[in-house]
């Protein structure tokens, strides 16, 4: 149903007027674009196993687009379906808008439907036609509420069969899956299955995740990362200013980012807090939980001696999995819980559950588990997500660190090695950033990704991801094309089984962004060089409204 204008805020009304910009190659419509095929590709790792699993879609070439006449597209009429999969990210509605406009501008008879509620909508055959009458109210807005999202994973034979049948019932020629690494792994598997079944249907993936871990040479950033980090940076900047005003609290801020520290690093650049934990560095240095706590305590004591019993610490959501001893514990727990699912589910008390897993752990891990506070231990044993991952967002790492830092400082105080005051406040910023109104960058980027996906499917490509690169340059200089999904894959152990997945991109400790951070963190630790970026800017000077992430800026500047 069309939304009423009376439900629009003044900002929404103004944002509805925003016209996303397209890369130069796409500006004149898809009938004026031709495909250039590159060389065959191979997976990032585990070549033999990935090739065996994707016999019909492995080795596909990278494709790029250039200007040229493509009259065949105008004569072709297609019905396309789009589905939003996984967590929300700013700009999802503009992906739909770009896809819709690309299809309609090529041939007005082309149609687009949206599966409702994520991949479960495919299995239940629940969908609605995307029309301009309704879509106009969702352009440049945050959230996924037009067709909603979901985390259902299509992975067993019955689900694949249902997918094939429902796509056929709806006479869908192509399916566009908007999601992160797991969702796009799913897209690759669906593309392979349909190809093996001799189904002439295309499957295209779109790179979405605010975590920033869907990233490679061609996917320079996933959509939503820019907006989400700007939202978090405004909040952290406010906390930095509050800390510097009251001068009596240490703020421990946990930031979303399930398996990588990209968000925390970017927010660190934008706000310059006193301590920024980077999980990848902790893993590389083989640090224990005690090492991490001691490093924090060291900074707290130094600042206290300077009369500064306050500060701000950024903690990535997934840092707990980067501490080697904790990583080993979680991995072992994943296997134990997967192998003993039914028996474990019958246990009622947390103590019984803790004893159940401790009996199946090695002596070292059993001791570590027993030492964890009961609240944290229960979070470690919480129900896994559909992909077999521990729900790290439910592990209150910032509170664990506060408890351990407090304990360490109390010990040092008794030894007359610390005479300061330590008062703490914990924060977790996650859902606050997922559905924000997209920044100008994300509004342009997502629209281009959708438009570009239309180009891929209209030309019959399947098992591809839509990519736009050269993102640190002006929009008209962005390069467009398609990337083979199996090309990004490796084999990982999930729920005790080996599975093909798109390889996560972690913070590169040799990359320029991290090296820039290392150069500055000692200054940030002892001083108040806080930055206050404020809210996302949609109007004003271009150097503010078109500002991209610090991460992209550092990655694309000369060394």
CA distance 390 to 384: 5
Helices (H), 107-221: 119-124, 132-135, 157-169, 181-196
Residue 381: the pLDDT is: 86
Q: Does domain 225-429+510-555 fall into CATH 3.40.50.460?
A: yes
CA distance 157 to 251: 49
Q: Largest Cα–Cα distance in the chain?
A: 82
Residue 557: the pLDDT is: 81
Write out pLDDT tens, residues 13-57: 999 999 999 999 999 999 999 999 999 999 999 999 999 999 999
Residue 442: the pLDDT is: 98
Domain boundaries along the sequence of the chain: 20-224+438-494, 225-429+510-555
Short-list 263, 257, 223, CA closest to 439: 223
Q: Which two tokens stand for residue 528?
A: 């108040």
Residue 6: the pLDDT is: 58
Question: Which residues contact residue 410 at a Cβ distance below 8 angstroms, ignoring those fewer than 6 apart?
Answer: none
Q: How many CB atoms lie within 10 A of CB 535?
A: 12
pTM score, whole prediction: 0.93
CA distance 537 to 433: 15
CA distance 91 to 96: 9
Residue 159: the pLDDT is: 98
Question: Which residues contact residue 72 at a Cβ distance below 8 angstroms, ignoring those fewer than 6 apart?
Answer: none
Burial classification of residue 526, based on how many CB atoms lie within 10 Å of its CB (0-12 exposed, 13-18 middle, 19 or more buried): middle
CA distance 188 to 200: 15
Short-list 14, 5, 27, CA closest to 102: 27
CA distance 554 to 559: 9
Burial classification of residue 353, based on how many CB atoms lie within 10 Å of its CB (0-12 exposed, 13-18 middle, 19 or more buried): middle
Q: Which CATH architecture has domain 20-224+438-494?
A: 3-Layer(aba) Sandwich (3.40)
Question: Which residues contact residue 120 at a Cβ distance below 8 angstroms, ignoring those fewer than 6 apart?
Answer: 126, 150, 152
Residue 1: the pLDDT is: 42
- Write out the DSSP string of 266-279: HHHHHH--SEE--H
Regions of the chain with pLDDT less than 50: 1
**545-556: string of b/e by CB count within 10 Å (b at 16+)?**
eebbbbbbebbe
Short-list 169, 156, 146, 192, CA closest to 54: 192
Which residues form the catalytic set? 211
Handedness of CA 281, 208, 391, 152 (dihedral sign): negative
Q: What is the CA radius of gyration of the chain?
A: 24
């Amino acid at each position: 149903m069309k939304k009423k204008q009376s439900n629009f805020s003044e900002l929404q009304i103004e944002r509805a007027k925003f016209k996303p910009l397209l890369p130069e190659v796409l500006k004149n419509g898809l009938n004026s674009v031709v495909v250039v095929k590159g060389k065959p590709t191979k997976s990032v790792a585990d070549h033999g196993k990935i090739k065996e699993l994707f016999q019909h879609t492995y080795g596909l070439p990278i494709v790029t687009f250039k200007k040229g006449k493509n009259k065949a597209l105008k004569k072709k009429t297609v019905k396309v379906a789009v589905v939003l999969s996984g967590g929300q990210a700013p700009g999802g509605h503009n992906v739909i808008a770009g896809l819709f406009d690309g299809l309609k501008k090529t041939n007005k008879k082309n149609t687009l439907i949206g599966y409702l509620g994520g991949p479960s909508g495919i299995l239940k055959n629940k969908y609605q036609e995307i029309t301009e009458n309704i879509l106009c109210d969702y352009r440049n807005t945050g959230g996924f509420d037009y067709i909603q999202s979901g985390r259902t994973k299509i992975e067993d034979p019955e689900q694949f069969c249902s997918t094939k049948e429902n796509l056929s019932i709806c006479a869908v020629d192509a399916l566009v899956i908007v999601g992160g690494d797991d969702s796009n792994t799913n897209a690759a598997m669906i593309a392979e299955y349909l190809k093996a079944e001799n189904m002439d249907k295309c499957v295209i993936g779109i790179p979405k995740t605010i975590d920033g871990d869907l990233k490679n040479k061609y996917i320079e950033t996933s959509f939503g990362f820019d907006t989400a980090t700007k939202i978090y940076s405004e909040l952290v900047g406010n906390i930095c200013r509050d800390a510097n005003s009251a001068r009596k609290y240490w703020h421990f801020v946990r930031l979303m980012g399930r398996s990588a520290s990209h968000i925390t690093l970017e927010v660190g650049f934008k706000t310059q807090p006193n301590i920024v934990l980077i999980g990848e560095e902790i893993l590389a240095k083989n640090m224990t939980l005690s090492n991490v706590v001691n490093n924090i305590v060291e900074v707290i004591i130094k600042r206290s001696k300077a009369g500064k019993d306050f500060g701000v610490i950024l903690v990535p959501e997934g840092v707990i999995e980067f501490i080697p001893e904790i990583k080993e514990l979680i991995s072992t727990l994943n296997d134990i819980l997967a192998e003993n699912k039914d028996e474990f589910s019958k246990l009622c008390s947390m103590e019984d559950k803790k004893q159940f897993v401790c009996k199946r752990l090695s002596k070292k891990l059993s001791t570590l588990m027993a030492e964890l506070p009961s609240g944290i231990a229960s979070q470690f044993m919480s129900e896994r997500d559909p992909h077999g991952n521990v729900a790290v967002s439910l592990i209150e790492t910032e509170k664990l660190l506060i408890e351990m830092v407090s304990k360490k400082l109390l010990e040092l105080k008794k030894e007359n090695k610390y005479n300061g005051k330590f008062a703490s406040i914990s924060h977790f910023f996650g859902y606050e950033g997922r559905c924000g109104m997209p920044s100008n960058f994300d509004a342009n980027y997502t629209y281009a990704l959708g438009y570009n996906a239309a180009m891929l499917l209209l030309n019959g490509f399947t098992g591809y991801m839509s990519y736009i690169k050269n993102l640190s340059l002006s929009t008209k200089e962005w390069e467009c094309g398609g990337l083979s999904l199996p090309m990004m894959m490796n084999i990982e152990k999930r729920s005790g089984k080996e599975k093909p997945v798109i390889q996560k991109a972690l913070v590169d400790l040799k990359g320029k962004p991290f090296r820039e951070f290392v150069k500055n963190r000692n200054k940030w630790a002892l001083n108040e060089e806080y930055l206050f970026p404020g809210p996302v800017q949609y109007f004003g000077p271009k150097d503010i409204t078109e500002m991209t992430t610090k991460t992209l800026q550092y990655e694309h500047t000369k060394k």
